[in-house]
Structure 1
Amino acid sequence: MKNLVIVESPSKSKTIERYLGEDFEVVSSKGHIRDLATKGKDGLGVDFEDEFKASYKISKDKKDVVKELKKKAKDADFVYLATDPDREGEAISWHLASELELDLDQKNRVIFNEITKDAVLKAFEEPRQIDMDLVRSQETRRILDRIIGFKLSKLLQSKIRSKSAGRVQSVALKLVVDREKEINAFIPEEYWSVIAFFENEGHIIETSAERYKNKKLEMKNKDDAQKVLDACQNEFTISKLEKKKRKKASKLPFITSTLQQEASTRLGFASRKTMRVAQKLYEGIEMGGEAEGLITYMRTDSTRLSNVFVEEALGHIKAEYGKEYVGTYRAGKKDDNAQDAHEAIRPTSIKRTPDSVKKYLTADEYKLYRFVYYRAVASLMAPAVFDAVSVVFSQNDYDFNGSGSVLTFDGYMKVYDYEKSSDKLIGEIDEAKAYSARNIEANQHFTQPPARYTEARLIKELEEQGIGRPSTYSMILDTIVYRAYATFGAVSETSRTKVFKPTEQGVLTSEKLDEHFSSIINVDYTAKMEEELDEISEGNKDNIKALQDFVDKFYPLLEEADEKMEKLEVEKVGEECPECGGELVYRYGRYGKFIACNEFPKCRYNRALEENKKEEPVKTGEQCPECGSDLVKRKSRYGTYFVGCSGFPKCRYIQPNEKKKKEKETKEETKDEEKS
């Protein structure tokens, strides 16, 4: 007879079992084991007349899992529930307890924020009861999502053929659509700048005309700029010179949203990839015959660090870099929307430096672990210090501002090399001296529309508005693309920056929701709902009242929209289907608009629009140096072109970019010269 421990993920069960020893068997539920049933009113699985009592059914793919868990639970002395340390994990433990008929008054719920031996063993010394407030909060969220998802999606499908709607998904789409409307409505405005360059002790100081007679200078056209140029052809005097020490503090350790944002910007990782790699680092890496989690739980909105880690990290910083690099611990201001359930994302041990574990990690795992490790270390290091100089060159009441800075102490930047610092030297300025501009020029500019959302920008916006939670950001962004409401692609042929752009169907969906459901599908209401869910999880709000308030508001809107929303006619192509003779119509998929047979699913004929057709590879007339096949020019997913083997994927040869090839050759020549 053994103690049975149930975790969510199979990949961490063996690691935890090894920590606990032979008296424990650790098995996995493989995530959620059941979901709301599809019976009752409107197939929602919720009894509206009995305080929104939920009916659950075991998921089809989990029936065998549950059967096996029941058998093991029956034979075990005691059953521990060690699912993930968040709201979803708490709900999974409750579902398991219900199906396995465990006593809810038992202290069998085990929580650990990191998968290390010490953390796991300590957690098993302090089990608690299942937190029913957290369970009620998760169940309320699921019921809300089910009501909106079923009812609103059904309405949109019947009226405008949109695939789905969601409580958070639709608000994210609204942000993307509203931004596109801002861009389309934007009217560029002309403005000019005047730049003067001064030489001082071999350094060039770049300045710009900022003020006239101590008032902000505005140059709206060429004549305004020419007026400044004409007035500033003589020598300048120094009207202001200011020197001071400037400190730059490190950023706080990562939370889920900032990890996704920064990994997207610095590492080029999609949010889904970031979370997948982080999950692996959390669950455990095999290192020399043993497995340990390298980072703490990656779904968090808290910037707190444990006292134990802070103490160890500060000692490491002092020993490794010197006492002058030791900073102070900043817990950060608690965000109003943060649940603050557990720590920031940090390494589980300060001793496991990225280089010491590199040989056990894949390239992506190493990049992300290094990122997390040094961000946490940097947050406890002293600020970087700069000697900053600001100077104002003046002539005929026009002031030209310039600045310079020199890094005098690298502080946290010694380890956090993701922020570059380049010294801007301007030399010693002589206030008594008159200066002649080496060059002075006027430049025309036009105001730019707001930028479309990148993944990082959209996640930041959702976070700042209090929409969604750490575990949901990636899924939200994936959904609006998967449902063909937005595309996610390169800004231009020469750029790798990807942005969200709404499709016609996305715009239509958002506009119809705005027209009929603006009081609930908006930023403020969605954020308020998130706050209510948090209050339920803390035991400060009644979940039944929250659901009733929503239903009372939602259903009248639904009935009115069903009556007033016009049904969209299918857009016909004007051709017969070549396979069955039916009518061809325009449809929308995750890759945009396409042509399909109106008899779907009986007839599955479809084809891409001419403008969406993939470019065919073009032969270059050269042979692949690795396999002898033809080399072809292809268009990449980023919109750029490259030359590769026509035998792909069997042969993955790609011809080096000529510019990079020349740079490489130059470097090699330089190395050869240095050696000789």
Structure 2
Amino acid sequence: MAGSGRKLVIVESPAKARKIGEYLGKEYQVDASVGHIRDLPNPSELPADMKKGPYGRFAIDVEHDFEPYYVVDPDKKKKVRELKAALKESDELLLATDEDREGEAIAWHLLEVLQPKVPVRRMVFHEITREAIQRAANDTRELDTRLVDAQETRRVLDRLYGYEVSPVLWRKVRQGLSAGRVQSVATRMVVERERERMAFRAADYWDVEGEFAPEGSGGQAFTARLSTVDGDKVATGRDFDDRGVLRTRGARHLDAAAATAIAEGTRSAAVAVRSVTEKPYTRRPSAPFTTSTLQQEASRKLRMNSQTTMRTAQRLYENGYITYMRTDSTTLSQSAISAARGQARDLYGADFIPDSPRSYGSKSKNAQEAHEAVRPAGDSFRTPAQVAGELQGQEYALYELIWKRTVASQMADAKGSTATVRLVASLPEGHGAGEAEYSASGTVITFRGFLAAYEEGRDEDRYGSREDSERRLPKLSEGVVLDVLAADAQGHQTSPPARYTEATLVKALEEKGIGRPSTYAATVGTIQDRGYVHSRGTALVPTWLAFAVTRLLEEHFSRLVDYDFTASMEEDLDRIARGDEQRVAWLHRFYFGSEATDAEGLRHLVEDLGDIDAKGVSTVDIGDGIVVRVGRYGPYVEDTTQGQEEGSPRRRATVPDEIAPDEMTPEKGRELLAQAAEDGRVLGQDPDTGRDIIARSGRFGPYVTEVIEDEEGTKKKPKPRTASLFADMDLATIDLETALRLLSLPRVVGTDPETGEEITAQNGRYGPYLKKGSDSRSLSSEQQLFDISLEEALAIYAQPKQRGRRAAAPPLKELGEDPISGKPVVVKDGRFGPYVTDGETNATLRKGDDPEAIAPERGYELLAEKRAKGPTTRKRSSTRKSGAKGTKARR
């Protein structure tokens, strides 16, 4: 009860609450809010009396200082009641959420909802250790409303951006798509890299590699590569541009014949050392981890994606193993520096630490130095061996990575020397040149320094070079004669720009100052979940849908996907967090525009959409008249040179998911078109009509149909008979006899001798069934359509007709995992007809959707459309006041 001296501490997660509770005394009660307790609702969830008011469109009143309308999440109402009850028993409230904008906003929302009548303090810490928690409980501060303003500005900004731009994508590209301030820019980066690959033209070039050894010594052999011919530099991959054109002036482009001639001449040439140069080699350790570099290195070394890395780091932080994992600072506290230097000295020796501690500056464009780098927690670090009994799997691997990087960051430089030797070969006549020079380099590490603890991983090098690789050359001096052990011509081809991986995309976003390191994992996950990007190994490959979305945004909302503009928004949010910019003024300029700078606002940009050519933005020109279009049911290739005659259809074919955009050449497009034409396989002729019977694959699955030619004297062309294949039939093996049986449906089974009514077997929208007048009875299998006898049919009709609720029926069809929710999608037969569901969202099939032949992509699209519409639940009037407007008291 109040007056007992009890203090309530609120953190975000139950794991943090348990750990912190161990470090505080009995007078503290530690509870968790489980993240945010309030947020902006979907407009469809607003109370009925607000839907037509100023909050109705965004849950934000844009005309009155962009005032947000917050509601307590329905799942958090019980938690709020528990926190209020605990607060009544307390004399003091300590808000101990994370010390960043999001954490500060969670604390502010807690204040707004709980309305405490007791003193409130803000408790902050960067690691969960006994010393840090007890120190934080005694050294508190006030809530920083500037950080809250910055977070609220970002939340309002993202709501306005998404709710204004996403509907444009729905109308002009496809239902259910989303646009976002960072996700759209990240998608554009991946698409631009793929465009570079599509425009890339490979160049062939040759060089020569030789194996040499000091004459007659039998000593150490080494390899050297041809570097110049008669004084001209030999062209390598770096000397060609992406169009395959040699761009380095004076470089000699060797072909197979020239390289072979030089190799042959080298094998019989006199070879001697022309020069030997040696220079000191020094390499410094990398800075301690930031959020971004942790994600990059975990991707390279541990094959962990960004989301997995952040989830694992969150658990390590909450359980007291590492410091706060959302930071763009490379700074270490004095105690951490002492701990790292001490462990390096104990494990490797005094020579492995420099005389003075190392400090690092951040390379991030918008770095905030409020936190430390990501490091092991505590004033003294636990080694991986000491936590091996407590951590396993990914948690242990990530902790070990963080520990190694932190300790190595305070260790001495690696030292050594790099030697470069140049060899000259005087070629015999008739070998295309008079003199060939070969070169080789080798680095010898004489003192490993920080490399004894850790070496940073490397991203794939487009040209295959390996700088700083350790390689020892034999002792050589100028004039030494060499034996030629081998010399071979080698052909190469230039490589296109490498696709982004999660690591390199995160690195590029950080370098451009786009987004925040704490959001990169969510951003990469979002563009994959939305179907804009998929993974091929570690590479991120954009889909054709991403091309359509990116083109629309580039052509009609270029400012919103401009890299510099997006980075400037992050800088402006930083200014709001520092108090140098006002939230309302900035949002007004962004949404309504600025007369002073003549900049259009978001509202104006989305007002006139008439000039957006929906078909144009969804079309990618491959060349030679071949285009890829993004259609309602997925991408397809089309030959625009065909079907020029009026009324004549153009050739089209579905583009398989496994074909990446840079692999879609005109030749590949025509191959798909030819294959699609073959899919319309003629099975034979119907002996009764003489018409061709064709089996082909359609939008809703494989089927058979008859071909009806135009007949003279007929005004209206009759509709061809069509029938879907049964689930156990194969399009490749179906024969004419089976096709004719399918086309013969419905089949007359016989006549009921009592009523005189005809009984037919039919294949309908909900599966196979019998029909007698208006009385229908389901069949258990499609095969019964052909096999069921009159006696069996009469026996079915003799049974009472089932009414009311039945036992749950098995799914009509399984479609696979939904790309957004990741849950299995099935087709079910419901009270109001068939529908698709992933267990969370249900979407009724439309007219023309065959429940047993529906394609997975169609199912996913229906679910996406339903999600985009939002929930349609009805609320009682007594629950309509669940929300509370954001207050301006802190302004």
2:401 aligned to which of 351, 371, 391? 371
What residue number does 1:428 align with?
475
1:357 aligned to which of 383, 387, 397? 387
Matches for 1:211-610 after TM superposition, within 5 Å: 211-212=228-229, 214-218=231-235, 219-226=253-260, 228-229=262-263, 232=266, 233-284=268-319, 293-327=320-354, 328-334=356-362, 335-349=364-378, 350-395=380-425, 396-416=434-454, 423-490=470-537, 498-552=538-592, 553-561=601-609, 564-566=612-614, 570=632, 573=699, 580=765, 590=819, 601-603=843-845, 605=851
CA distance in 2, matches of 1:544, 1:610: 45
Q: Report the CA distance between 1:211 and its aligned residue.
A: 2.9
CA distance in 2, matches of 1:51, 1:610: 45
1:86 aligned to which of 100, 122, 136? 100
**How many equivalent residue pairs?**
593
Q: Report the CA distance between 1:390 and its aligned residue.
A: 1.1
Equivalent residues of 2:384, 2:403 under 8 A apart: yes
Equivalent residues of 2:514, 2:563 under 8 A apart: yes
Q: Report the CA distance between 1:321 and its aligned residue.
A: 2.0
Q: Which amino acid aligns with 2:542?
A: P
1:7 aligns with 2:11: yes
Residue aligned with 1:281, SS: helix
Residue aligned with 2:590, SS: helix
Which of the pair has the greater relative contact order for Cα pairs under 8 Å at 6+ separation? 1
1:24 aligned to which of 25, 28, 41? 28
CA distance in 2, matches of 1:78, 1:282: 26
What residue number does 1:132 align with?
145
Equivalent residues of 1:595, 1:607 under 8 A apart: no
For 1:158-197, what per-residue CA distance to the aligned partner results, in whole angstroms no more than 9, with x for missing partners? 3321521111111111111111111112111111112121
Equivalent residues of 1:487, 1:590 under 8 A apart: no
Structure 2 gaps, min length 5: 47-53, 236-252, 426-433, 459-467, 593-600, 619-630, 634-697, 702-722, 725-762, 768-814, 828-832, 837-842, 859-891
For 1:376-397, what per-residue CA distance to the aligned partner results, in whole angstroms no more than 9, with x for missing partners? 0001011122232111112355
Q: Which amino acid aligns with 1:266?
A: K
Matches for 1:86-105 after TM superposition, within 5 Å: 86-102=100-116
Counting helix residues as a fraction of each chain, which structure ranks higher?
1
Change (3 A) 1:226 1:403: same
Residue aligned with 2:150, SS: helix
For 1:645-676, what per-residue CA distance to the aligned partner results, in whole angstroms no more than 9, with x for missing partners? xxxxxxxxxxxxxxxxxxxxxxxxxxxxxxxx
Q: Report the CA distance between 1:107 and its aligned residue.
A: 6.0
What residue number does 1:169 align with?
183
Equivalent residues of 2:365, 2:511 under 8 A apart: no
Equivalent residues of 1:199, 1:205 under 8 A apart: yes
Q: Which amino acid aligns with 1:573?
A: R
Change (3 A) 1:550 1:351: closer
TM-score, normalised by the number of residues in structure 2: 0.63
1:208 aligns with 2:225: yes
1:120 aligns with 2:133: yes
Structure 1 gaps, min length 5: 285-292, 491-497, 613-676
Q: Report the CA distance between 1:413 and its aligned residue.
A: 1.6
Q: Report the CA distance between 1:147 and its aligned residue.
A: 0.8
What residue number does 2:73 align with?
59
Residue aligned with 2:514, SS: coil
Change (3 A) 1:139 1:581: same
Change (3 A) 1:408 1:535: same
Change (3 A) 1:220 1:144: farther
Residue aligned with 2:481, SS: coil
Residue aligned with 1:209, SS: strand
Change (3 A) 1:265 1:611: same
Equivalent residues of 2:365, 2:512 under 8 A apart: no
1:46 aligns with 2:42: no
Residue aligned with 2:341, SS: helix
Equivalent residues of 1:203, 1:425 under 8 A apart: no
Equivalent residues of 2:328, 2:373 under 8 A apart: yes
Equivalent residues of 1:70, 1:100 under 8 A apart: yes
For 1:110-139, what per-residue CA distance to the aligned partner results, in whole angstroms no more than 9, with x for missing partners? 110000011111112221111111111100
Equivalent residues of 2:276, 2:477 under 8 A apart: no
Q: Report the CA distance between 1:433 and its aligned residue.
A: 1.5
Q: Greater Rg, structure 1 or structure 2?
A: 2
Change (3 A) 1:384 1:121: same
TM-score, normalised by the number of residues in structure 1: 0.82
Change (3 A) 1:431 1:316: same
Q: Report the CA distance between 1:329 and its aligned residue.
A: 3.2
Q: Which amino acid aligns with 1:164?
A: S
Q: Report the CA distance between 1:208 and its aligned residue.
A: 1.3
